[in-house]
A and B are shown apart, each in its own frame.
Chain A
Amino acid sequence: MAVEQKQDFEPRILGFLCNWCCYAGADLAGVSRFQYPPNMRVIRVMCSAKVDPTYIMKAFLSGVDGVFIGGCHIGDCHYIKGNYYTRRRIMMVKKVLEVIGIEPERLRLEWVSAAEGAIFAEVMKEFTQQIKELGPSPLRKELQGSKVAK
Chain B
Amino acid sequence: MKNYNKVIQDIVRSMLEAGLVEEVVAFGQDPASVDILPLFITEPQDAEKVVAISYYPCSLAKLVALYGDKDKKTGMVLRPCDARALVELAKRQQVNLENIYTVGIECYGVVKDRAGNNEIYVFPGDMEIDGESKPLDEDMLAPGCLRCEYPIPTMTDVSFRLEPKGEVSVTANTEKGKEILSAAKISSTEGSPTDISAIKERAARWQEQDFGELMKMEPGERLKYWLSQFDKCIKCYGCRNSCPICYCSDCYLEPGRMLIEGEEMPPEKLFHITRLMHVGDSCVNCGQCEAACPMGIPVSKLYHMLYKELSPLFDYEAGFDLDSLPPVSSIRDEDLLKTGVELD
B264-280 interface (Cβ within 8 A of A) = 268-270, 273-274, 276-277, 280
Q: How far is the CB of A150 from chain B (nearest CB, A)?
A: 14
Q: Is A53 an interface residue (CB 8 A)?
A: yes
Closest chain A residue to B221, Cβ basis? A101
Least Cβ–Cβ distance between B48 and chain A, in angstroms: 46
Q: Which residue in B280, B329, B341 is a CB contact (below 8 Å) of A96? A: B280
Contacts of B217 in A (CB 8 A): 101
Q: Is the CB of A99 within 8 A of B223?
A: no
Among residues of A, the one whose C-beta sits closest to the C-beta of B227 is: A142
By beta carbon, the residue of chain B nearest A139 is B223
B343 is an interface residue with CB less than 8 A from chain A: yes
A10 lies within 8 A of chain B by Cβ: no
Asked whether B234 is an interface residue with its Cβ less than 8 Å from the other chain, the reply is no
Knowing A95-B310, A110-B341, say if A100 contacts B223 (CB, 8 Å): yes
Asked if A148 contacts B268 (CB within 8 A), the reply is yes
B106 lies within 8 A of chain A by Cβ: no
Q: How many Å lie between the Cα of A96 and that of B306 in the bound state?
A: 7
Residues of A within 8 A of B223 (CB): 100-102, 138-139, 142
Query: Is A84 within 8 A of B335, CB to CB?
Result: yes
Q: Which of A61, A91, A101, A148 contacts B219 (CB 8 A)?
A: A101
Query: Are B305 and A99 within 8 A (Cβ)?
Result: yes
The distance from the CB of A113 to the nearest CB of chain B, in whole angstroms, is 12
Closest chain B residue to A134, Cβ basis: B219
Q: Chain B CB within 10 Å — which of A53, A87, A101, A138 has the most?
A: A101
Q: Are the CB atoms of A81 and B222 closer together than 8 Å?
A: no
- Given A91-B342, A91-B343, answer yes or no on A85-B222 (Cβ-Cβ < 8 Å): no
Q: How far is the CA of A132 from the CA of B314 in the complex (A)?
A: 31
A57 CB within 8 Å of chain B: yes
Q: Is B281 part of the binding interface, using a Cβ–Cβ cutoff of 8 Å?
A: yes
Q: Does B237 sit at the interface, judged by CB under 8 A?
A: no
B341 touches A99 (CB 8 A): no
Say yes or no: B280 contacts A92, CB within 8 Å: yes
With a cutoff of 8 Å between Cβ atoms, the chain A residues found around residue B2 in the complex are none
A5 sits at the interface (CB 8 A):
no
The reply to whether A95 and B339 form a contact with Cβ atoms under 8 Å apart is no
Q: Does B18 lie at the interface of the complex (its beta carbon under 8 Å from any beta carbon of A)? A: no
Residues of B within 8 A of A58 (CB): 270
Instruction: Please give, as numbers and ranges, the residues of chain B lying within 8 Å of A141 by CB-CB distance.
Output: 220
Min distance, Cβ B163 to any Cβ of chain A, angstroms: 38
Instruction: Scan B292-336; emit 1 where CB is below 8 A from any A CB, else 0.
Output: 000000000010011001100110000000000001110100011
CB <8 Å contact, A88 and B314: yes
CA–CA, A109 and B341, complex, Å: 6
B7 to chain A, nearest CB (A): 42
The residue of chain B having its C-beta at the shortest distance from the C-beta of A138 within the complex is: B220
Interface of B, secondary structure class, is helix
Q: Are A57 and B310 in contact, with the CB atoms below 8 A?
A: no
Q: Does A111 contact B (CB under 8 A)?
A: yes
| B206 in the interface (beta carbon within 8 A) | no
Residues of A within 8 A of B327 (CB): 88, 92
B247 within 8 A of A: no
B44 to chain A, nearest CB (A): 47
- Take A61-B269, A101-B222 as given contacts and tell me if A89 and B328 are in contact as well, using a CB distance cutoff of 8 Å: yes
B252 within 8 A of A: yes
A92-B328, A95-B309 known; A54-B274 Cβ under 8 A: yes
Q: Is A90 part of the contact surface with B, judged by Cβ < 8 Å?
A: yes
Report whether A99 and B309 are in contact in the complex, using a CB–CB cutoff of 8 Å.
yes
**A87 near B341 (CB under 8 angstroms)?**
yes
Chain B residues whose CB sits within 8 angstroms of the CB of A84 once the complex forms: 331, 335-336
Taking a contact as CB atoms under 8 Å apart, the answer to whether A96 and B328 are in contact is no
Q: Are A54 and B339 in contact (CB under 8 A)?
A: no
B66 at the interface (CB under 8 A from A): no
Contact residues, B219-266 vs A (CB, 8 A): 219-227, 252, 259
Measured in the bound complex, the distance between the Cα atoms of B280 and A92 in whole Å is 9
Given contacts A57-B273, A92-B281, A100-B273, contact A85 B313 (CB under 8 A): no
Q: What are 20 pairs between A and B in contact, CB < 8 Å?
A: A57-B274, A61-B270, A74-B336, A84-B336, A89-B328, A92-B277, A95-B309, A96-B276, A100-B226, A100-B273, A101-B217, A101-B219, A101-B226, A110-B341, A111-B341, A138-B223, A142-B223, A142-B224, A142-B227, A143-B269
Interface set of B (CB-CB < 8 Å, partner A)? 217, 219-227, 252, 259, 268-270, 273-274, 276-277, 280-281, 302, 305-306, 309-310, 313-314, 327-329, 331, 335-336, 338-343
Q: Which 9 A-B pairs have the closest CB atoms?
A: A101-B222, A101-B223, A84-B331, A138-B220, A74-B339, A95-B309, A101-B219, A109-B341, A53-B277
